[in-house]
Amino acid sequence: MLRPLPMPVVASYCTTFLKPEMLHIYRQVSGLRAWETFVMTKERASANRFPFDAVEVLPRPRINFLARFHKKYIRRMEPVFYRGEYDQLSAVLARRHADVLHVYFGHTGVHLLPFIRNWPGPATVSFHGMDIMPRPKEPGYDARMKELLGVLRCLVGIPDQQPMIKEFRFAQRRLVAEEDIEESKLWDMPAEHHEANGQRR
């Protein structure tokens, strides 16, 4: 008798899993059927409200002082490397046999850009509203966001509230017109769709 093929594995990265207002993310993660998933997070919150077993809480990485100094000041590497995050995430993804990395929220994607750029597997970032907007007052942020959008194969837009949809559409048009982002990269999942069908994916 043939054994069923194992399901592909997607690693879901969410800095805090989950804040009370993040019901839409819980529905997406818990509603997967064709994919196996686990969550990587720096903080586990609202566990009673959002029960989910496959959660990897990432402790602050320990890194040798001399190694950190060498990476930061001699090799001029980015924080993800000299703070030990790259090695930590790589180890978890390898141990869990992750096929795809899904990063929730644009600003988190910007932070993890060096990892996404160097990790050999495919990655995507989902945007949920204002996290797709520029931040001109934050030095270097918009340039890193533009690089992130160029590196990713797919950008998933999931505005989490109905009033955000109009602003989100405007932001998408700006990406195509001003940032030279290919329109085919933009995948749009309106809030009413993922709320109604979040239990079947």
pLDDT of residue 101: 96
Neighbour count for residue 84 (Cβ, 10 Å): 18
How many domains does the chain contain in total?
1
State the pLDDT confidence band at 86, using cuts at 50, 70 and 90.
Answer: very high
Q: What is the CATH number of the domain that holds 134?
A: 3.40.50.2000
Mean pLDDT along residues 68-80: 92
Residue 192 belongs to some domain of the structure: yes
Percent of the chain with pLDDT over 70: 73
Residue predicted with more confidence, 172 or 86: 86
Tens-place pLDDT, residues 5-32: 688 999 999 999 999 999 989 999 999 8
- Is 34 a domain residue? yes
Q: 74: pLDDT confidence band, cut at 50, 70 and 90?
A: very high
In a domain, 158, yes or no: yes
For residue 4, being part of any structural domain is answered with no
With respect to residue 17, please indicate whether it lies within any of the assigned structural domains: yes
Query: What sign does the CA torsion over 69, 73, 79, 81 have?
Result: negative
Average pLDDT, the chain: 82
Give domain status of residue 1, yes or no: no
pLDDT of residue 168: 54
The whole domain housing 114 covers 9-197
Q: Residue 117: what pLDDT? A: 93
Query: pTM of the prediction?
Result: 0.80
In a domain, 86, yes or no: yes
pLDDT in tens, 148-190: 888 877 666 655 454 445 555 555 555 555 556 666 666 666 5
* Residue 2 lies inside a defined structural domain of this protein: no
The C-alpha atoms of residue 80 and residue 102 are separated, in whole angstroms, by 17
Q: How far is CA 54 from CA 118, 156, 175, 195, in A?
A: 25, 23, 35, 22
Give the pLDDT band of residue 145 (cuts 50, 70, 90). Answer: confident
Is a pLDDT exceeding 70 seen at residue 195?
Answer: no
pLDDT of residue 44: 97
